[in-house]
Amino acid sequence: MAPTIPDGVGWTALVVSAQRAAESRRPDALFQDPLAEALVERVGEDAIAAGPGPDGGTDQRGTLARVMGDFLPVRTCFFDRVVTEHPTPQVVILAAGLDGRAYRLERPAGTVIYEVDVPEVLAFRDAVADDLTPTVEHRPVAIDLREDWPEALLAAGFDPTVPTTWLVEGLLIYLPADAADLLLDRLTGLSAPGSAIGVEYADRDPASAMTGLAGTDDPGAQLFADLVEAGPRDSPARWLGSRGWTVEESTVREQAGLVGRPVPAIMDPELGGMDAWLARARR
């Protein structure tokens, strides 16, 4: 029996994972994601698109494909590089959802990946992944990021005295500015010298960018608009720099060019979208 689909923002983890499955099937695929493929096999693309609940939600596929295009594979490749270019003993994936990196990336022996997300989403992920063999040790940290997640991370074995690579992928747009600041303060306090962070970052309200491009009467755009928040107030350089991180900013346009994919409309100001970055930083 297929596991129960998580509700609300949790569901978006399935939507983006299904896009990684679609990428894995392309003849020019930039990566293979076995967890994403297992998800689609177990649950089915139509059920993922329809969403949770007995009557399903709103099928976002048309809107996402039209507005976001090839963004997900571009983002995946960027965060993969953050992981592979920082061989720290610990990786923490905040709002991991159905992140497949523990099933597809090689890491130095002894590396531990901590995957933080709400219990419902991690339980769903475990049910989908039960036949897969991880390439690296990974530990779930089942907690809402509005709660005391550093304590939960420490309880799972995280060591704040050794360097960590942090991934903040597909998360900041779901947080109000104050929550984003608190998240960064907590993360910085747990980062030993030699740590690195990758963040996906939008400079203004992604909801209005989405409805602006797709139309306010588009149900997929409206659903997305209802889920997102403002995110941090500053550019990545100022936001991360203010906490002592040395920042390397790049635009989504630049990252799309690196992997030979077209720039997605929602993340290109020249196409009516917002300024958007994929940034990394070290300390």
Ligand X SMILES: C[S@@+](CC[C@H](N)C(=O)[O-])C[C@H]1O[C@@H](n2cnc3c(N)ncnc32)[C@H](O)[C@@H]1O
Residues at the site binding ligand X, with contacts judged by CB under 6 A: 9-10, 12-13, 16-17, 95-99, 117-118, 121, 144-146, 169-171, 174
Distance CA 233, CA 251 (A): 17
CB of 5 or CB of 246, closer to ligand X: 5
Least distance in Å: CB of 161 to ligand X?
25
CB of 145 or CB of 265, closer to ligand X: 145
For residue 23, which of 96, 85, 80 has the smallest C-alpha distance?
80
Least distance in Å: CB of 79 to ligand X?
8
Least distance in Å: CB of 17 to ligand X?
6
Which tokens in the block code for residue 110?
A: 């002894």
The residue with its CB nearest to ligand X is 97
Altogether, the residues listed in the chain come to a count of 283
Please report, as a single letter, which amino acid is at residue 73.
P
Q: Is the dihedral of CA 175, 235, 279, 206 positive or negative?
A: positive
| DSSP state, residue 251 | B
CB of 177 or CB of 192, closer to ligand X: 177
For residue 159, which of 208, 195, 133, 122 has the smallest C-alpha distance?
195
Least distance in Å: CB of 179 to ligand X?
8
CB of 60 or CB of 90, closer to ligand X: 60
